[in-house]
Structure 1
Amino acid sequence: MSSVHDEHATSQNSSYQRDIRYIFKLNSWILGSLGIWPIAIRGIGQHASKIVIVIFNLALSFAIVPCALHIIYDEKDITMRLKLCGLLAFCLTAMTKYCILAIRRPKILRCIEYVKSDWWQVTFRTDRELMLKYATTGRNLTIIGVSFMYIAGIIYHMILPFCSEHKINNQTIRPLVYPVYSKFYQSQISPIYELVYVAHCMCGYTIYSVTAGACGLAALFTTHACGQIQMIIAQLENLLDGDKFEQTLNVQQRIAAIVKGHVRVIRFAAVIEEVLQEVCLVEFASSVCTICLLEYYCIVDWQADDRIGLTTYFMLFVSFCFNIYILCYIGELLMEKSSQIGSICYMINWYELSPKSARSFILILAMSGHPIKITAGRMADLSLTTFGNVLKTSLAYLSFLRTLVM
């Protein structure tokens, strides 16, 4: 992989630079703004990402601590407490994922190097088109998830707080995105109010960027792995013809190239698992409660005829469901593609090969019998079945919550 950074080397893919910018641009913008995306900066700039991470974590703490104090000491209404507890849990979840991604930056860099190396070595135009197809799928999933998340976040932070009058003891107060403990009365005085509001907006940006960025990172790496598996499948289908190989290679060398590519994908998937398993575990553990609470908020605002609140919470609900769906969909896609290799090994004209060459498929068949999986903390596989279980569990909790509160 060191050849990727060799300035004197020539890439086999003439469109290498353009392709890399295309697949990395969106994720580098989102995670780079949070100091998570690994970049090569020398001098004092190499500490910039650490400074950014500290600043955004302080912004999260600036919203979490006063909100927690407000829930404990000030708020008495059970419905408002539920709304604020959901908000607080969301903030804490985002902070946890942020810290995990910050710790996993070396592993993220390793995955990026894997992706760059694969694009660097593309030889055939059909292989590049195949890789671009899967890269576009991951990019489109990221764009949709980011759009839902940011639109809902903008409404929640910049429109919803100003749509209703806020009074305490018949005195109108200026609204804030996150509630503040009553003892901090200075938060209503300019310019402290403006500073607090900006800090709350920074907190919101951090929350939505971490959530969308984690799903985007999973989509980027997993769809790339699927593209590499599809290339292996194409090589297996053309093993005897040799169209997908250098003309100088014999059958045994072609099989060796296929096995080498398969092993590389498996190793890449293992690194992806290391990067994402804790983030996915936190995401799934929190999503059941968050989706349940958002469903409850939608019901309450529907009954209260609060259209803006209903729209905001419904968009948040859709964005959360879609983020979980992205993780489960790409996990399902990776399992399906990796198990497909075994089927293709059997479907090709392997009987036309020499017995010695045919025996080489035994290990490939054995490995494809254990498809590559992405898990949530090694406790649950990311699959569409898991997505269905998350929705069913959230509805069960919603039924319990309605019985308890209403």
Structure 2
Amino acid sequence: MIIFALNARLLNEIVVRVVKDWEECDISDRYTMSKMAYISRRFSNVIIFSHTISVFFYATGALLKQNDDNQTDTRELIVKMELPFEVESTPIYVTVLVTQFLHQSSAAAMVGVLNSFLITLVLHACGQIDIVRQKFSEITNIERGVTEGIMKTLIVQHQRIIAFSKNIEALFSNIALIQFVSNTLVICCLGFLIVISIGVPGGSIMLVKSVFFYIVMSLEAFIYCFVGEHLSTKSEMIGDAVYESNWYELNPSQNRDVLLMIVRSQKHLTLTIGKVADLSLKQFGDIVKASASYVSVLHAMY
């Protein structure tokens, strides 16, 4: 949220670009954009729900641990913390417990919203790429007498997609870096807890707390890697669509415009981890392997 606040102007440019794309689209474009919006909505619902339900399972594990210990002098909280007052009495304990649950649920939902926002923006960019590919295929294969003005309009639209993707990269690059570092550590620690909880007395309670939390953290890392891979793959398809069209039937002036689009598409669009590495499925595999290595070391030391 701090990064969003510091980049409020950039965030505003991104939102304005999305709004203008919806205002300027025609009937054929609206179908593609509506399909992407529907996919974004489905993904957003799943992500926000999974983040919120992970808090529910974590809280359930904490309550089950308290019932399993059969202790009356201490109360198990969702988040371990020191308070300036006693929580032995039932009303105070319930108040603290509900407050912690609401806080954790809202924080988890907010993280899910930010992840959903990234997916929505990337899918919107991919939808614009599909529109450019579709229009270029139509005007070269159906309307052979395509004018130079239409070609330049597609070039301008392609440039807007590039600028939009660069704005997403500038906004989420540092966020991705923070998420990758934290997710690697969290996945490592949760994996260690899961490993040492298998086959031990009371381990099922820890599994209830940790397994779904582990899945959500892995899902969060996968989301960032997937959207980066998807955007990169989609951006390369523009050059392929242009090359596979009937460019040889155009005049030399129009062919220069075609060559310009192919050259611009060769440098595929990417999202990076703090300007260090590209977000890709390979990076997700590296996170899983690194976390597994850390778990093995911790388990050996334990």
**Given the two structures, how large is their TM-score scaled by the length of structure 1?**
0.68
Which residue of 1 is the match for residue 204 of structure 2? Answer: 307
Which residue of 2 is the match for residue 356 of structure 1? Answer: 253
CA shift at 1:241, angstroms?
A: 4.8
Deviations 1:256-315 (A, max 9, x none): 111010011111111111221111111111111111111111122222253343133111
Which residue of 1 is the match for residue 299 of structure 2? Answer: 402
Q: Distance in 1 between matches of 2:93 and 2:211?
A: 29
- SS of the residue aligned with 1:304? coil
The counterpart of 1:115, out of the listed 10, 18, 29, is 18
CA shift at 1:382, angstroms?
A: 1.1
Q: Distance in 2 between matches of 1:214 and 1:124?
A: 30
Gaps of 5+ in 2: none
Which residue of 2 is the match for residue 218 of structure 1? Answer: 118
CA shift at 1:242, angstroms?
A: 6.0
Answer yes or no: is the 8 Å Cα contact 1:138–1:220 preserved in 2.
Answer: yes
Q: Distance in 1 between matches of 2:179 and 2:19?
A: 28
Q: How many residues align?
A: 299
Answer yes or no: is the 8 Å Cα contact 2:57–2:212 preserved in 1.
Answer: no
The counterpart of 2:228, out of the listed 282, 306, 331, is 331
Q: Distance in 1 between matches of 2:245 and 2:255?
A: 11
Which residue of 1 is the match for residue 3 of structure 2? Answer: 100
Let me know the Cα RMSD of the aligned residues: 2.3
**Given the two structures, how large is their TM-score scaled by the length of structure 2?**
0.90
Q: Distance in 2 between matches of 1:382 and 1:137?
A: 21
Instruction: Tell me whether 1:297 sits opposite 2:193 in the alignment.
Output: yes
Instruction: Tell me whether 1:173 sits opposite 2:69 in the alignment.
Output: no
| AA at the equivalent of 2:249 | E
Instruction: Tell me whether 1:155 sits opposite 2:155 in the alignment.
Output: no
Q: 1:145 and 1:328, CA in 2 relative to 1: closer, same or farther beyond 3 A?
A: same
More helix, by proportion: 2
Aligned-residue identity in percent = 24
Which residue of 2 is the match for residue 184 of structure 1? Answer: 84
- SS of the residue aligned with 2:229? helix
CA shift at 1:134, angstroms?
A: 2.1
Which residue of 1 is the match for residue 103 of structure 2? Answer: 203
Which residue of 2 is the match for residue 285 of structure 1? Answer: 181
Gaps of 5+ in 1: 1-97, 244-248
- SS of the residue aligned with 1:186? coil
| AA at the equivalent of 2:206 | G
- SS of the residue aligned with 2:66? coil
Q: Distance in 2 between matches of 1:100 and 1:191?
A: 39
| AA at the equivalent of 1:104 | N
